[in-house]
Amino acid sequence: MKPFDFLWVRWFAHDVTAPSGWAAKRLPRVGFYDGDDESAFGFLDPDMVVRGVQLIPAFKYGRTMYIRLEC
């Protein structure tokens, strides 16, 4: 048997209900997909991962909520 590295991930979604961009003078807001959504979790090859990102928590909005995307 040969070992195989992988990551189990929970995906973020763009919050389209929050204003963002140059006109709004705000960065886009993200949140987790609903855990019941079949596309909320997935597997990745570790070589495909971005190694650095900065997310600033918005604690004033309370606990994590899910976002439904309209794709």
pLDDT, tens digit (0-9, with 9 covering 90-100), for 4-48 = 888 888 888 888 888 999 999 998 888 888 778 888 898 988 888
pLDDT band of 65, cuts 50, 70, 90: low
User: What are the strands, taking DSSP E only, across 1-71?
Assistant: 7-10, 12-14, 30-32, 41-44
Closest CA to 32 of 3, 52, 61, 6: 61
**From its phi and psi, is residue 23 left (phi > 0), alpha (psi between -120 and 50) or beta?**
alpha
Alpha-carbon distances of 39 from 9, 10, 48, 67, rounded to whole Å: 10, 9, 18, 12
pTM > 0.85: yes or no: no
